[in-house]
Structure 1
Amino acid sequence: MSKKITDESGLEIIETPEALAGQINKAEVFFLKNRKVLAGIGGAILVAVVAFAGYRFYIDGQEGTAQNALSSVVYDFEADSLSKALNGSGGNEGLLSIADSYKGTDAANLANFYAGVALLKQGKYDDAISHLESFSSSDLLVHARAQSLIGDAYLEKNQAAEAITYYKKAADNEKNEFFTPVYLMKLALAQEKANQAADAVASYKRVIEEFPLSSEVVNAKKYMGLLEGQVGK
């Protein structure tokens, strides 16, 4: 019979060579009984690894092409030629095509952001929301910007409750002196439209108290004063 000792933590530790040999024999028996299953698992893991490597190779190859296509269309976007930017011109792919054709690349991700902004400017709010929701960024400031734009689209659709959700996300994402007060002002406006007067007052108050040096403070005080007068506070 194998001898065992117990360490300070109370765990049993195998001590003798005979005991170790017994454990090895058990492992061999387990492998022989289950070799087909284990071989299948090993094969599946290998297939998954190879598939992922192949996917990354494909995406890396696509990235250069997508980046070139995006650089050609950004000029149209910056020149406010929205239709050309979205649909392409002169043989160049547009933002919509880049976002769809090169999925998984950084260029396609950025194309979704640009497309969302362009569609928002065109008044195509549902399409704008779809593209902006497909965009992601590890840069929290950029991510917050996308959330705010989605809020803008919902507010334009007179869906104040949905706008509030996204403005809150934007306002609470990487708070800073430059953008957070703007998001809070938008949030307060949406809350007013949703007949949430008390919440709107609280949002205006946040601008005043948390960002006293921001340019939005003057309007925040004015709108909060008007709102408090209306609700009798």
Structure 2
Amino acid sequence: MNEVYPLTAGFFVSICELIKSLIFAGEKFYRMAKKETKKAPEVEYELLEKPEVIAGRLERGEAFIKKNSKVFGGILIAGILIIAGVLYFQIDKQNKNKKAQSEMFQAVYYFEQDSTDLALNGDGSNSGFLKIVDQYSGTAAANLAHFYIGSIYLSEGQFQKAADHLKKFSADDYFVQARAFALLGDAYLELGNTKDAIASYKKAIDHKENKHFAPRYLNKLAIAYEEAGEIENAIKTYGIIEDKYYESFEYTNARKHKARLEGLASK
């Protein structure tokens, strides 16, 4: 521990200076309070404290610090180790993410070519999405891989697996995240879980709403409401498309189904 002491000398000096300033501040406050209570004469002056008193107090402070130098040294070393650990973790994560993105390139290509098996499991030379999420968990690449895996499983009718992966995906991009919420809603709806399907579609609609995709998600929401037997909510949802998104592709379909449901509700 003798090697630690030189590293902490500057720290000890700073502590001494702090103690010194606190001593003077305390004495000054005491003198000011004494003047106020005893109403001293008009001529105000400050008594200089005896040098031997100051020296004694500083010596006691320095002695305390020297006595506990191992403690202060341990705290300093612990702080350095924590900082080093955080930096190492961040650098390691960045390196893993770069490697994962490089390996993910071929899987994305297979996905775009509808070669879903190769996209999921790889081709023997290149990793698939499943290996990427397992090997590079916690990276941005693995996060995006969950979106691709969920999309593939949904298209293959494996709805529970689709939901499991889509729930793990998160992104700031308004288009991809909203799309993920909508796909999750599709998976829940296929599983007969209308409650979670409705919640997911609402998230898709509310996530930085835009006129191009909101009508599509509203249409899905209306279908989920109807599946859940909430006819009035389904009518209201179709009405939003009719009133707010009259230029959208879903407009005509919304008017038709709204009229149909209003007819059912009136019976």
Q: Aligning the two structures, in what range does the TM-score lie when normalised by the shorter sequence?
A: 0.7 to 0.9
Q: Which residue number corresponds to residue 143 of structure 1? A: 177
Q: Tell me how far 1:45 sits from its aligned partner.
A: 3.9
* Change in 2 beyond 3 A, CA 1:230/1:37: farther
Counterpart residue identity of residue 195, structure 2: A
Distance 1:34 1:208 in 2: 75
> Pairwise mapping of residues 133-212 of structure 1 onto structure 2 (< 5 A)?
133-212=167-246
Aligned to 1:2: 28
Give the whole-Å Cα distance in 2 for the aligned partners of 1:124 and 1:47: 46
Q: Does 1:221 align with 2:221?
A: no
- Letter of the aligned partner of 1:156 in structure 2? E
Match of 1:116 among 147, 150, 163: 150
124 and 34 in structure 1: CA distance in 2 versus 1, 3 angstrom threshold: farther
Cα 1:231–1:39 change in 2 (3 A) is farther
Aligned with 2:80 (options 46, 56, 68): 46
Q: In the TM superposition, what is the alpha-carbon distance from 1:89 to its structure 2 partner?
A: 1.1
Instruction: Give distance in 2, aligned partners of 1:150 and 1:166.
Output: 6
| Larger-Rg structure | 2
| Matches of 2:75 and 2:244, distance apart in 1 | 56
Task: Give the 3-state SS of the residue equivalent to 1:3 in structure 2.
Answer: helix
- Structure 1 residue ranges without an equivalent (≥5): 6-15
Change (3 A) 1:36 1:78: same
Identity of aligned residues (%): 40
Alignment of 1:96-107 (within 5 A): 96-107=130-141
CA distance in 2, matches of 1:186, 1:52: 44
TM-score normalized by the length of structure 2 = 0.73
Instruction: Specify the alignment match of 1:9 in structure 2.
Output: none
RMSD over equivalenced CA pairs, Å? 2.6
Which one of the candidate residues 128, 134, 137 is aligned to 2:162?
Answer: 128
SS at match of 1:2: helix
Q: State the secondary structure of the residue aligned to 1:224.
A: helix
* Count of residue pairs brought into register by the alignment: 216
Q: What is the Cα deviation at residue 52 of structure 1?
A: 1.6
Q: What is the match of residue 126 of structure 2? A: 92
Q: Structure 1-normalised TM-score?
A: 0.83
Give the superposition deviation at 1:44: 4.3
Q: Measure the CA separation in 2 of the matches of 1:35 and 1:155.
A: 65
* CA shift in 2, pair 1:147/1:44, >3 Å: farther
Displacement after TM superposition at 1:77 (Å): 0.8
Matches of 1:217 and 1:62 in 2, distance apart?
46
| Equivalences for residues 6-17 of structure 1 within 5 A | none
Q: In structure 2, how many angstroms separate the alpha carbons of the residues matched to 1:127 and 1:41?
A: 48
Task: Mark the CA change 1:178 to 1:36 in structure 2 (over 3 Å): closer, same or farther.
Answer: farther
Distance 1:84 1:43, change over 3 A: same
179-188 or 139-148, which deviates more: 139-148
Shift of 1:53: 0.8
- Sort the Cα spacing of 1:2 and 1:86 in 2 relative to 1 into closer, same or farther, 3 A: same
Give distance in 2, aligned partners of 1:68 and 1:188. 41
Structure-2 separation of matches of 1:204 and 1:38: 68
Cα deviation for residue 105 of structure 1 reads: 2.1
Q: Distance in 2 between matches of 1:169 and 1:60?
A: 30
Give the aligned residue type for 1:218: T
Q: Which residue of 2 aligns with 1:13?
A: none
User: Whole-Å Cα distance in 1 between the matches of residues 108 and 92 of structure 2?
Assistant: 24
